[in-house]
Amino acid sequence: MSVSMFQITVPVYVQRLNGLAGCLKKAQALYAEKKYDETSLLNYRLFPDMYNFARQVQAATDHARNGAARLAGQEPLAIEANEKSLAELISRVEKTISCLQAFKAEQIDGSEEKTIVLKFRDRETSYKGLAFVLNQSMPNFYFHSTTAYTILRHNGVEIGKRDFMGAA
């Protein structure tokens, strides 16, 4: 049985991002009910050299959106990282889901051997499509999604594994 590049990326990103959006909505409800300052959550970081919560959410959405676009041979859609509230982070996640849902299987399937070039400040790294998904895009997506989830849990948001996983 073969698995398509589309099936191992877009639906996975969408399901987990739906989970992230649900977690963010629970955080928003808690912070509104308790009259907590959302800024404290958005700026919270697990360790001084790690991204803060808002940046974790931004990075997760970026990895999903950019990963799918690169596999499809498109320029990734840029979304400015300037969210200052949970509502704005929820909107970012929802925009990313909409962007992902616009991709069709035929745009991504067959990209296993496509060369994906990532440009960093002072270097470039090339991957074949499947290696890009398995060693770059998905690990980074999960890292930032999991870190965002962990920060929410640490800050008292009552969420669990089912929330993180998202509805299938």
What domains can be seen in the chain, in order of their start residue? 10-165 (1.20.120.450)
pLDDT at 168 over 80: no
Write phi, then psi, for 44 (nearest 5 degrees).
-70, 135
> How do residues 87-119 score in pLDDT, each as one tens digit?
999 999 999 999 999 999 999 999 999 999 998
Q: Residue 157 corresponds to which tokens in the numbers above? A: 């948001």
How far apart, in whole angstroms, are the C-alpha atoms of residue 72 and residue 77? 12
- Compute how many other C-beta atoms are within 10 angstroms of the C-beta atom of residue 14: 19
- What is the pTM for the complete model shown? 0.96
Residue with tokens 């800024």: 39
> How do residues 11-63 score in pLDDT, each as one tens digit?
999 999 999 999 999 999 999 999 999 999 999 999 999 999 999 999 999 99
Residue with tokens 């970081």: 45
- Compute how many other C-beta atoms are within 10 angstroms of the C-beta atom of residue 130: 16
